[in-house]
Amino acid sequence: MPELPEVEVVRAGLAPAVTGARVAAVEVLDARSLKRHEAASGDFETLLTGERIEAAVRRGKFLWLPLAGGGALVGHLGMSGQLLLRTPDHPGDDRHARIRLHLEHPEHGELRVDFVDQRIFGSMAIDRMAPTSDGRVAGFSADVTGPWARSIPSQVAHIARDPLDPAFDDDGFAAALARRATGIKRVLLDQGVVSGIGNIYADEALWAVRMHGEQPASSLSRRRARELLAAVREVLNRALAEGGTSFDAQYVNVNGASGYFAHSLNAYGRAGRPCPRCGTPIVREAFMNRSSHRCPRCQRLRAGVRSGASTGASTPVARVIPAATSPGSSAGGTPARG
């Protein structure tokens, strides 16, 4: 499943081609790809045809195209979704093409965007926009000056900001960890706490800070929470930097199998191979119908951290429990799939 860096490659590739373009025609080849489109809001093709696309915006792994009419086209890539930028004369030979947008761009002329989705976990929808709850810019895009910039599609509003977002709340993140007794990896995958991190980059960030994925989030000191957040950002930024070099403007591609920036992974997918830090073979363990990869030597469960004991090598740091914490708020959030 694409994570933040993969979706950012798609966004960055689409943005120059679609920004300012008018939707000349819409072809829905498979109505199953409209499952998240609310029929009550109107017909997808009718709502979209004639609209002008203002930008390409991303929050975490969610992508949307604000429309001049005030709504947005939301693209859920799901497990296997791709948004492919085509020339208008490209042969329509992809049997997994579900939706096709014919665009007219004032500078680039006629273009086509094909939504290709083999497994149909992804979808497209026209959604209404609402102001962001914190009044800040909703997501990442090259230009944030438009009237749409501080609004977010209703389908994305429950998604937390991603750690690369300038408006991400570091203190709020640490406070959210302190309230959750569930394993830290589950919290990293909870899109209501922090978005954009999936299985792969969660394993990588946990390896980087020598942390076991089942370590209770509430047992982490503030210092360890900060270290983890810094590692998440480093892992995501590194993947973004690598993705930028493989980008091809004519073929915007996200592929769940081969599109990951796998050449620099330290733990994920490396079961049985030596930990790059200590040489101990990486182990693979069952995790939420998927797998976790970790070094059994570097990443051990730490007992007694909750009571203020040292987390191994790090200095004990008093954990600040927010006043808002109530006995009923210790349950973890709903982990998102991906």
Tell me how far, at minimum, the Cβ of 295 lies from Zn ion, in Å: 3
In angstroms, what is the minimal distance from the CB of 298 to Zn ion? 3
Q: How far is the CB of 117 from Zn ion (least distance, A)?
A: 38
Residue 197 CB, shortest distance to Zn ion, in Å, is 21
Active-site residue, 290 included: yes
How many angstroms separate the first and last alpha carbons of the chain?
6
Residue 223 marked ligand-binding: no
Q: Are 206 and 299 in contact (CB under 8 A)?
A: yes
Question: In this structure, are residues 230 and 162 in contact, taking their beta carbons and an 8 Å threshold?
Answer: no
Binding mask 246-275 for Zn ion (x = CB under 5 A): -----------------------------x
Q: Tell whether residue 283 is a contact of Zn ion (CB under 5 A).
A: no
| Nearer to Zn ion (CB atom), residue 252 or residue 298 | 298
Q: Which amino acid is at 20?
A: G
Binding Zn ion by CB under 5 A: which of 284, 297, 300, 306? 297
Q: Select from 56-64, 242-250, 251-259, 297-305 the region that touches Zn ion (CB under 5 A).
A: 297-305
Query: Could you say which of 281, 290, 316, 322 is catalytic?
Result: 290
**Of the candidate residues 212, 295, 319, 332, the single one contacting Zn ion (CB under 5 A):** 295
Q: Does the protein bind Zn ion through residue 217 (CB under 5 A)? A: no
Would the annotation count 158 as a binding residue?
no
The response to whether 119 counts as a known ligand-binding position is: yes
Considering the complex, state which of residue 264 and residue 280 has its C-beta at the smaller distance from Zn ion: 280
Out of 278, 288, 320, 331, the only residue in the binding site for Zn ion (CB under 5 A) is 278
Nearest CB to Zn ion, comparing residues 42 and 274: 274
* Structure-block tokens of residue 55: 């930008």
SS3 of the chain: the string is: CCCHHHHHHHHHHHHHHHCCCEEEEEEECCHHHHCCCCHHHCCHHHHHCCCEECCCEEECCEEEEEECCCCEEEEECCCCEEEEEECCCCCCCCCCEEEEEEEEECCCEEEEEEEEECCCCCEEEEECEEECCCCCCCCECCCCCCCCCCEEECCCCCCCCCCCCCCCCHHHHHHHHHCCCCEHHHHHHCCCCCCCCCHHHHHHHHHHCCCCCCCEHHHCCHHHHHHHHHHHHHHHHHHHHHHHHCCCCCCCCCCCCCCCCHHHCCCCCCECCECCCCCCEEEEEEECCEEEEECCCCCCCCCCCCCCCCCCCCCCCCCCCCCCCCHHHCCCCCCCCC
Q: Should residue 277 be labelled a site residue for Zn ion when binding is judged by CB under 5 A? A: yes
- Return the number of the residue (87 or 264) whose C-beta is nearest Zn ion: 264
- Catalytic residue (choose from 11, 61, 98, 185): 61
For residue 26, the minimal CB distance to Zn ion (Å) is: 51
Size of the site for Zn ion (CB under 5 A): 7
Q: To which residue do tokens 């946990």 refer?
A: 206
Stretch that binds Zn ion, among 43-51, 155-163, 214-222, 295-303 (CB under 5 A): 295-303
- Strand-strand pairing, 72-76 and 123-127: antiparallel
- 35 part of the active site: no
298 is a contact residue toward Zn ion (CB under 5 A)? yes
121: number of CA atoms within 13 Å, CB side? 11
Catalytic residue status for 2: yes
In whole angstroms, the minimum distance from the beta carbon of 302 to Zn ion comes to: 15
Active site residues: 2-3, 61, 290
Binding site feature residues: 96, 119, 180
Name the residues that contact Zn ion, by CB under 5 A.
Answer: 275, 277-278, 280, 295, 297-298
Binding site feature residues for DNA: 96, 119, 180
